[in-house]
Amino acid sequence: MKLLFDENLSPKLPHLLEKHFPGSMHVRDCGLKGAADEKVWDYARMHGLTLVSKDADFYQRSFLLTDPPKFIWICVGNCTRNEIFALLIKHEQEIRSLASATEAVLVLS
């Protein structure tokens, strides 16, 4: 499972998680730095990436639009990159299960 990290998350996360989620990227890695949510959303959907963000707009979008990409909503306040890393590792099995789930959204807090 490949993850696409939104701008509001550290660009170092894909490298830190390479062992767990090989091929993951940050929006900066694919030329989407500063891009509108719609472009990030479409990129994730078209490339089979699971979008990871702290942005509630993506959560709302996942219920409004058809054929959404898989989405992981990080529902925590201010935290460090290491805390996000630990949260994703803690829920690695749930994240992997999302790929074959009928649900499109996984909320982590």
C-alpha distances out from residue 95 to 69, 77, 104, 105, Å: 13, 20, 11, 10
Count of domains observed in the chain:
1
Task: Name the residue among 103, 43, 95, 102 with its Cα closest to residue 74.
Answer: 95
pLDDT at 60: 85
pTM of the complete model: 0.94
What is the span of the domain harbouring residue 11? Answer: 3-108
Q: Is the confidence at residue 66, as pLDDT, over 80?
A: no
